[in-house]
Chain A
Amino acid sequence: MLEISELSVSFGAVSALKGVSLEARQGSITAVLGANGAGKTTLLRAISGLVKAQSGSVRFSDRELVGLPVERIVRAGVSHVPEGGSVIAEMTVAENLQLGAVWRYGRRDRLRRIAEIYEIFPALATRAKQHASTLSGGERQMLAIGRALVSRPSLLLLDEPSLGLAPLVTAGLMAVLADLSKGGDITTLLVEQNARSALSIASWAVVLNLGSVVVSDTAAAIADDADLRHHFLGF
Chain B
Amino acid sequence: MRLFWNITLGGVSEGLIFASVALGLVLIFRATNIINFAQGAMAMLTTFIAFSVLGKGVGYWPAFVVALACGLVLGGVVQLVLIRPVQNKPPLNAVIVTFGLLILLEGLAGAIWGNSNRGFPAAFSQSGLVVGHTSIAFSHFDVFIVVAVLALVVLVALLFRFTTLGLRMRAAAFAPEAARLLGVRVSWLLTLGWSFAAVAGALAGLLVAPTSVFSPTFMDLILVYAFTAAVIGGLDSPLGAVIGGLVTGLALAYVGGYLGGALEPIGALVMLIVVLMIRPEGLFARPTARRV
Q: Which of A30-38, A100-108, A163-171 contacts the other chain?
A: A100-108
Q: Is the CB of B171 within 8 A of A151?
A: no
Q: Is the CB of B177 within 8 A of A82?
A: yes
Q: Is the CB of A102 within 8 A of B184?
A: yes
Q: Which of A48, A89, A102 contacts B181 (CB 8 A)?
A: A48
Closest beta carbon of chain A to B167's beta carbon, Å: 6
Q: Which residues of A have CB within 8 Å of B179?
A: 88, 99
Contact residues of A between 57 and 94, Cβ < 8 Å to B: 70-71, 74-75, 79-80, 82, 86-91
B88 located at the interface, meaning its Cβ lies under 8 Å from any Cβ of chain A in the complex: no
A226 located at the interface, meaning its Cβ lies under 8 Å from any Cβ of chain B in the complex: no
User: What is the interface size of chain A, counting residues whose CB is below 8 A from a CB of the partner?
Assistant: 25
Q: Which residues of B have CB within 8 Å of A175?
A: none
A95 located at the interface, meaning its Cβ lies under 8 Å from any Cβ of chain B in the complex: yes
In Å, the complex CA distance between A75 and B181 comes to: 10
Which of B168, B177, B180, B185 has most A Cβ within 10 Å? B180
**Knowing A82-B177, A82-B178, A88-B175 touch, does A151 contact B183 (C-beta < 8 A)?**
yes
A50 located at the interface, meaning its Cβ lies under 8 Å from any Cβ of chain B in the complex: yes
Q: Is the CB of A88 within 8 A of B171?
A: yes
In Å, the complex CA distance between A158 and B126 comes to: 63
Q: Is the CB of A74 within 8 A of B178?
A: no
Q: Which of A50, A70, A91, A104 contacts B170 (CB 8 A)?
A: A91
Inter-chain contact count A-B, CB under 8 Å? 65
A15 located at the interface, meaning its Cβ lies under 8 Å from any Cβ of chain B in the complex: no
In Å, the complex CA distance between A48 and B181 comes to: 8
**Knowing A86-B175, A88-B175, A90-B174 touch, does A99 contact B181 (C-beta < 8 A)?**
no
In Å, the complex CA distance between A87 and B171 comes to: 10
B182 located at the interface, meaning its Cβ lies under 8 Å from any Cβ of chain A in the complex: yes
Q: Which of B174, B180, B183, B184 contacts A91 (CB 8 A)?
A: B174
A113 located at the interface, meaning its Cβ lies under 8 Å from any Cβ of chain B in the complex: no
In Å, the complex CA distance between A99 and B178 comes to: 10
Residue of A nearest to B287 (CB): A133
Residue of B nearest to A100 (CB): B182
A98 located at the interface, meaning its Cβ lies under 8 Å from any Cβ of chain B in the complex: yes
Q: Which residues of B have CB within 8 Å of A91?
A: 167, 170-171, 174
Closest beta carbon of chain B to A124's beta carbon, Å: 16
Q: Which residues of B have CB within 8 Å of A50?
A: 177, 180-181
Q: Which of A82, A89, A103 contacts B184 (CB 8 A)?
A: A103
Q: Is the CB of B168 within 8 A of A86?
A: no
Q: Is the CB of A88 within 8 A of B178?
A: yes
B288 located at the interface, meaning its Cβ lies under 8 Å from any Cβ of chain A in the complex: yes
A140 located at the interface, meaning its Cβ lies under 8 Å from any Cβ of chain B in the complex: no
A40 located at the interface, meaning its Cβ lies under 8 Å from any Cβ of chain B in the complex: no
Q: Is the CB of B174 within 8 A of A103?
A: no
Q: Is the CB of A88 within 8 A of B183?
A: no
B164 located at the interface, meaning its Cβ lies under 8 Å from any Cβ of chain A in the complex: yes
In Å, the complex CA distance between A104 and B164 comes to: 12
Contact residues of B between 177 and 227, Cβ < 8 Å to A: 177-185
Q: Is the CB of A75 within 8 A of B183?
A: yes
Residue of A nearest to B175 (CB): A88
Residue of B nearest to A131 (CB): B288
Closest beta carbon of chain A to B186's beta carbon, Å: 8
30 A-B pairs within 8 Å (CB atoms) are namely A48-B181, A50-B180, A50-B181, A71-B180, A71-B184, A74-B181, A74-B182, A74-B183, A82-B178, A86-B175, A86-B181, A88-B170, A88-B171, A88-B174, A88-B178, A89-B174, A90-B286, A90-B290, A91-B167, A91-B170, A91-B174, A95-B167, A98-B164, A99-B179, A99-B184, A102-B164, A102-B167, A102-B168, A103-B182, A151-B183
Which residue numbers of B lie inside 8 Å of A, CB to CB? 164, 167-168, 170-171, 174-175, 177-185, 286, 288, 290
Which residue numbers of A lie inside 8 Å of B, CB to CB? 48, 50, 70-71, 74-75, 79-80, 82, 86-91, 95, 98-100, 102-104, 133, 147, 151
